[in-house]
Structures are given as C-alpha cells and as structure tokens.
C-alpha cells in the first residue's frame, strides 16, 4: 500500500516540503509522517498542519491537491516513485539521483534543477528553468530524463551536461543556453536564442526556428541516434509522429562563441 | 536406433566452451543490413584458421531492433575472452562501419561482461565523434562521409558453445548435399545458433593433428573420407560414398541441442545411410551431445 498525502489546508505562502520524498518517508507510520518538519514561509511547521496522511510508505507516495505552493517535492530522491495528482510547485525533484516523479498537472519553475538521474514526467505544462543549473552554478542536469507533455518556459536545460529533456509542446527563449552536452527534444517550437553559448549537446525541434548568427549550417540528414530518442519518447507516451522518426533534419553547428561543438537539429518541412 | 530408415549411431558430438557476442546490425533496408552481416561473418568458419567463428543468427523485423529499422542478428565466437573484443573491433570496423546506412547494437545488453567495442571504434571519428546516452545505454556517433555511423559503446560477452556437429553419411554426393541443405533449412533462424561454414555445411571435417606433418594442427578426417576406406581405419558403413558435416555454434548448449534435433530429423531422408557425429573421445570438450538422447528428448547435454 502506498502512502497517501492529501492537502487539506492551502498554505498562504510557499511551503518547503522536501520531506515529501520516498527515502525520507520510508518505514514511517502515518502519524510519524505527519510530524515531519516543513517550512511555511519563514516559520517551521509540521507536515500534518497542511496534509492528511494515510497508508504506509512502501516506496510510492501519492500526493493529491493543489500543490502549486508546495516546493522541493522529491528533492534529492534516489529511488521510489512520487505521483502528484494536481499542480506542483517549484524545485520539483531538485538534485534527484533516481526514482520517478509523475505529475498529473502543471509544474511551476525549476523542475529538476541539477538532477543527476531518474525521471520526471509532467503531464501538463512546466514553468521556466526546466532541468536548469541553479543561479551561480555552471552545470545543470547531469543525467536522467525530464519529460513535459505540454509546453515549458525559458531556459530549458540551462547548463545541461548529460541526460534528456523532452518537451511535447513549445519551449521558451534560451533553450539549451550554456549547454555542455545532453539532448533537448522539443516537438513544438523553440523561442529566441536557442543554444546560446552552448558548447556541446543537441537541441532538436520539429518547427522552423531562427538561430543566432553564431550557428552554421552543416547538412540535412537523418541522424540515427535521434530515432532511438524519439522511439523511446513515443514509448513513454509523447506524441512522436512517424514523420519525426523518419524525417530529415537540418544540422546547425554552434555556438561559435564557445566550443562550436553543439548542434541544433531542425526537422525539414 | 532408426529414424525414417536412417541409422542414428550411438555416439556424440563433442563441443567446446567459447566466448560469444551477439551483434544487431540494422540498415535502411534489409539488403544493407544483410550486406554488412555477410561481410562481417565472412572468413569466420573455424578458429583453426580464422581466429573466430561467426554466422547470421536470424533476420530481424523493424519492431525487433533498437532503431526500428530492419536488421540482422549475428553471433561471433572466440576460444578465449581476451581475443573477442579485438575480433569485434576489427570486423565491425572494417565491415559495418564501412557499409552504407548501417548501425551496430549490442544483442546481449543484460550480460555483465562488457567489451568496449564502440568505445574503441569511436577513435575513427578523429575527435569529431560524440556520444549519446539513451535510457541507460551509451552510443557513439562517428561522423563518416555518408553521414554518421552509430554504434553502441559496449557489447556483452558470455560463455557460448562451439563445435556442436553431426555427420550425414549418404550413399552418394547428391543425397548428402540434399540432406545437408534440408538440415540447414530446418535450423536456419533458430534462436541462439549459427552455422559458421559455407551454407552451413562442411565437406572437410578434420581430426586433431596429423599422422605425417608435425606442424599441422588439423588434418583430414580420414576415418570418414570415402576415398580412403581401403587405406585407413575407416568408420564408414558399407554403401556410404559421401559425408557432409553440419557444425553449430551457439549461445548455450540447450540451443545447440534443440537445433541439432531439428537438423538431424530433416537430414533423415532417402539416400542417407546414417547420422554420426564428431568427437575426440570425450577428452577435450566439456559439452557432449549424444545423438540418440537428443532425438529421444532426453535430459540436456552437460
């Protein structure tokens, strides 16, 4: 039986609840879980002040309610599964190394910052800074997968070093900014200045995009590695079309202001 | 024991423990996957002279391959684990990397022993290569004139079995060949098994060493050579004028045994006098495939 944690009192200010992670909850009874500390604004509180808890933690946590003001859910988790039935707040899965988070709603900014492993799936939209480096940090996501079925805001994959970020809708400006490696797949459109300052890595889009002048056209071809990514994303439920899998892509190399070893792949119309 | 009027001799095939890798070669069309696989498995009949043994295991539908394209599954075996990575690097580098549209994937992903084959071949990219991790598997994109060659970073290696065999003793060459062809057809595509010789058939079965030349490690199997019946210690029954051998390599003894069962049954046809097998008295190879037990569905080979 999984642990069910249901919001009963909406926090008036952001609630920092990094205790909502399978490892922190493992082996605890429902009353013990309710006693775990959270930070409400600048005040300490108990988890039970806001949530009703039932069941036992067996590696899976079911969260229900409008959690748009609840931050740090699943932060640092290494295994297990978190399912959120509703919207979720900032810093979801920050620094996680394993396990899976599934959000059956929208996510706020900073989904999976500096994530190392595991998978985050957002069935709705996500805010800015999906899979990004924290401010002041040069390296973002180091591994794992973030899959957003809807659209995402600015700076997707900022400083990304490894892993996969997939956006089913559109991505905002500066996708892959300062990217070091890894792969970003956007089934919709890219915003302005995609790949600015990228050193290595791949940014893929299925729509035409105007790139920075520091990107150079190389060729139009069918990259095989992309088939592997796209077939995997299709298995995970993203609406990847046959034309995406078998299509030809323009390869643009950049960013020339950096190493110039990155690429933007644009599906040929 | 008689099977469809053919004598099944009370003997066994003696086989060896080898190291095996499975490669999944894909291409834009089945033709190009097949072209690469045929080149890769060429001149790989016997470790005696080829350093490895290899063959096509089966053709793969797009749904059975990592990249969703048609492909071919290949098994490649060596006698020791040290030489397997080198043979893979040589052969994939010269035959798959060079072949238009193809990619090369590991067919033993769950095996813990990993060989850094793609990791070595990536150097062909001269620093322009790039790696990608998809799921938990790493691939190398090696730029080539056509576009890119994609290869998995590591390939699995496990213990396999080499040298499963049976001999078709027939009244003439036509009957032996027809029976061998029928046997090969019955075994083609059997999971976990390849037939490394031309068309799956060997006409020059060998014995260990030589009666005359000290440096020869293998010479003609005179006991089963019809033309030598009058001058050697022949093991051929009367009326046998031609012998062909089927050699099987595989991922495990059970697969070899299952394929031998199919092949021997198919080979028992008019003109065939007996089915025998090659062994070394049971002193060399750890795997003994007893023909009668296999056909009776007895317990598996050691």
A134, A115 contact by CB (below 8 A): no
Residue in B closest to A218 by C-alpha:
B147
pLDDT score, position B302: 52
For residue A184, the distance in angstroms to the closest alpha carbon of chain B comes to 12
Lookup: tokens for A118: 């595991």
The closest alpha carbon to B252, from B12, B15, B23, B86, belongs to B15
Q: Which residues of B touch A232 (CB under 8 A)?
A: 134-135
A111, A121 contact by CB (below 8 A): no
Rounded distance, CA A71 to CA A16, Å?
5
CB distance A228–B132 less than 8 Å? yes
Of A224, A227, A232, nearest to B135 by CB-CB distance is A232
Average pLDDT score over chain B: 96
The closest alpha carbon to A102, from A50, A149, A136, A69, belongs to A149
Average pLDDT score over chain A: 96
Of A162, A200, A224, nearest to B103 by CB-CB distance is A224
Lookup: tokens for B79: 């006698």
Rounded distance, CA B192 to CA B189, Å?
9
Q: Is the pLDDT of residue A112 over 80?
A: yes
Instruction: Say whether residue A223 is in contact with chain B using an 8 A CB cutoff.
Output: yes
Cβ count within 10 A of residue B114: 16
CB distance A223–B148 less than 8 Å? yes
Grouping H, G, I as helix, E, B as strand and the rest as coil, residue B116 is coil
Rounded distance, CA A132 to CA A135, Å?
9
Query: Beta strands B201-202 and B71-78: pairing type?
Result: unpaired
Rounded distance, CA B149 to CA B62, Å?
18
Lookup: tokens for A111: 């989904």
For residue B142, the distance in angstroms to the closest alpha carbon of chain A comes to 11
Dump the DSSP string for chain A: --EEEEE-S--SS-EE-TT-SHHHHTT--HHHHHTSEEEETTEEEEGGGTEEEES--SSEEEEES-BTTEE-TTTT--SSEEEEES-B-SSTTTT--SSEEEESS-B-S-SSTT--SSEEEESS-B-S-TT-PPTT-S----SSEEEESS---S-TTTT--SSEEEESS---TTTTTT--S-EEEESS---TTTTTT--S-EEEESS--PPPTT-EEEEEE--HHHHHHHHHHHHTT----HHHHH--EEEEEE-TTTTS-EEEEEE--
Among B125, B132, B150, the residue to mutate for chain A (most A Cβ within 10 A): B132
Q: What percent of chain B has pLDDT over 70?
A: 98
Give Cα B229 to chain centroid, integer Å.
30
Question: For chain B, how many residues are written?
Answer: 302
Rounded distance, CA B268 to CA B295, Å?
12
Domains of chain B as residue ranges with CATH: 2-14+160-296 (3.30.70.520), 19-158 (3.30.70.520)
CB distance A228–B134 less than 8 Å? yes
Q: Which residues of B touch A204 (CB under 8 A)?
A: none
Q: Is the pLDDT of residue B234 over 60?
A: yes
pLDDT score, position B284: 86
For residue A17, the distance in angstroms to the closest alpha carbon of chain B comes to 29
The closest alpha carbon to B250, from B211, B206, B193, B209, belongs to B193
pLDDT score, position A183: 98
Q: Which residues of A touch B36 (CB under 8 A)?
A: none
pLDDT tens column, B39-94: 999 999 999 999 999 999 999 999 999 999 999 999 999 999 999 999 999 999 99
pLDDT score, position A58: 84
Q: Number of CB pairs < 8 Å for A and B?
A: 42
Residue in B closest to A235 by C-alpha:
B135
Q: Which residues of A touch B139 (CB under 8 A)?
A: 225, 228
Q: Which residues of A touch B69 (CB under 8 A)?
A: 227
Output the CA–CA distances (angstroms, integers) from residue A84 to A48, A121, A135, A245, in the order listed.
17, 10, 27, 31
For residue B135, the distance in angstroms to the closest alpha carbon of chain A comes to 8
Instruction: Show which residues on chain B lie within 8 Å of chain A, measured between beta carbons.
Output: 66-69, 103, 130, 132-135, 139, 141, 147-148, 150
CB distance B67–A227 less than 8 Å? yes
Q: Which residues of B touch A231 (CB under 8 A)?
A: 67-68
Q: What is the pTM of this model?
A: 0.94
pLDDT score, position A159: 98
Query: Where residue A67 falls among pLDDT bands split at 50, 70, 90?
Result: very high
Complex ipTM tops 0.90? yes
pLDDT score, position A116: 97
Task: List, in order, residues 6 or more apart from B135 with CB less than 8 Å away.
Answer: A232
Identify the bridge partners of residue B164 per DSSP, sorted by sequence position. B248
For residue A190, the distance in angstroms to the closest alpha carbon of chain B comes to 22
Query: Where residue B290 falls among pLDDT bands split at 50, 70, 90?
Result: very high
pLDDT score, position A57: 80
The closest alpha carbon to A183, from A216, A222, A127, A229, belongs to A229
Query: Where residue A223 falls among pLDDT bands split at 50, 70, 90?
Result: very high
CB distance B68–A245 less than 8 Å? yes
Among B24, B67, B128, B149, the residue to mutate for chain A (most A Cβ within 10 A): B67
Question: For chain A, how many residues are written?
Answer: 269
Q: What percent of chain B has pLDDT over 90?
A: 95
pLDDT score, position B300: 60
Determine if the peptide bond prior to A214 is cis (ω within 30°).
no
The mean pLDDT of A235-240, rounded to a whole number, is 96
pLDDT tens column, A178-202: 999 999 999 999 999 999 999 999 9
Rounded distance, CA B91 to CA B50, Å?
12
CB distance A229–B132 less than 8 Å? yes
Output the CA–CA distances (angstroms, integers) from residue B153 to A268, B131, B158, in the order listed.
29, 9, 17
Instruction: Say whether residue A228 is in contact with chain B using an 8 A CB cutoff.
Output: yes
For residue A139, the distance in angstroms to the closest alpha carbon of chain B comes to 18
pLDDT tens column, A245-259: 999 999 999 999 999
The mean pLDDT of B209-215, rounded to a whole number, is 94
The mean pLDDT of B113-133, rounded to a whole number, is 98
Q: Is the pLDDT of residue B230 over 60?
A: yes
Instruction: Say whether residue A261 is in contact with chain B using an 8 A CB cutoff.
Output: yes
Output the CA–CA distances (angstroms, integers) from residue B240 to A29, B35, B132, B245, B267, in the order listed.
80, 38, 59, 14, 15
């Amino acid at each position: 039986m999984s642990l069910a944690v249901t919001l009963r009192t909406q926090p008036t200010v952001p609630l920092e609840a990094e205790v909502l992670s399978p490892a922190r909850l493992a082996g605890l009874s429902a009353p013990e879980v309710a006693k775990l500390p959270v930070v409400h604004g600048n005040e300490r509180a108990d988890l039970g002040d806001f949530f009703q808890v039932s069941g036992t933690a067996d590696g899976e946590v079911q969260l229900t309610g409008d959690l748009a003001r609840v931050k740090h859910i699943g932060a640092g988790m290494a295994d297990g599964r978190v399912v959120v039935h509703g919207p979720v707040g900032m810093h979801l899965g920050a620094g996680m190394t394993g396990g899976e988070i599934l959000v059956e709603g929208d996510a706020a900014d900073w989904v999976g910052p500096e994530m190392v492993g595991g998978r985050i799936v957002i069935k709705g939209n996500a805010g800015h800074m999906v899979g990004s480096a924290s401010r002041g940090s040069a390296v973002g996501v180091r591994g794992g997968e973030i899959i957003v079925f809807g659209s995402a805001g600015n700076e997707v994959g900022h400083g990304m070093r490894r892993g996969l970020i997939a956006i089913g809708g559109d991505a905002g400006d500066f996708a892959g900014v300062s990217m070091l490696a890894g792969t970003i797949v956007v089934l919709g459109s890219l915003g302005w200045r995609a790949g600015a300052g990228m050193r290595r890595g791949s940014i893929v889009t299925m729509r035409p995009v105007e790139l920075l002048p520091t990107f150079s056209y190389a060729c139009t071809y069918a990259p095989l590695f992309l088939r592997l990514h796209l077939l995997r994303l299709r298995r995970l439920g993203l609406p990847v079309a046959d034309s995406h899998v078998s299509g030809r892509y323009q390869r643009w190399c950049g960013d020339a202001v950096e190493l110039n070893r990155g690429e933007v792949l644009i599906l040929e119309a | 024991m008689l099977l469809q009027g053919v004598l099944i001799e009370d003997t066994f095939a003696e086989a060896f423990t080898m190291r095996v890798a499975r490669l999944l070669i894909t291409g834009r069309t089945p033709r190009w996957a097949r072209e690469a696989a045929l080149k890769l498995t060429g001149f790989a009949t016997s470790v005696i002279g080829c350093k490895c043994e290899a063959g096509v295991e089966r053709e793969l539908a797009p749904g059975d391959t990592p990249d969703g394209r048609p492909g071919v599954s290949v098994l490649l075996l060596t006698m020791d684990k040290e030489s397997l990575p080198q043979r893979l690097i040589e052969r994939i580098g010269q035959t798959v990397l060079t072949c238009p549209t193809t990619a090369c994937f590991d067919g033993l992903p769950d095996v813990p022993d990993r060989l850094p084959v793609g990791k070595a071949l990536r150097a062909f990219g001269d620093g322009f290569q790039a790696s990608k991790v998809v799921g938990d598997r790493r691939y190398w994109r090696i730029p080539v004139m056509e576009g890119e060659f994609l290869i998995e970073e590591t390939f699995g290696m496990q213990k396999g079995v080499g040298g499963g065999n049976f001999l078709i003793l027939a009244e003439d060459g036509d009957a032996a060949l027809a029976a061998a062809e029928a046997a090969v057809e019955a075994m083609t595509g059997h999971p976990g098994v390849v037939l490394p010789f031309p068309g799956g058939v060997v006409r020059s079965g060998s014995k260990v060493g030589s009666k005359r030349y000290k440096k020869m490690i293998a010479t003609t199997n005179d006991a089963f050579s019809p033309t030598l019946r009058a001058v050697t210690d022949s093991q051929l029954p009367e009326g046998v004028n031609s012998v062909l051998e089927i050699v099987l390599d595989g991922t495990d003894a059970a697969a070899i045994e299952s394929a031998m069962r199919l092949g021997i049954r198919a080979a028992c046809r008019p003109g065939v006098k007996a089915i025998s097998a090659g062994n070394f008295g049971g002193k060399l190879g750890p795997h003994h495939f007893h023909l009668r037990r296999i056909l009776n569905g007895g317990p598996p080979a050691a």
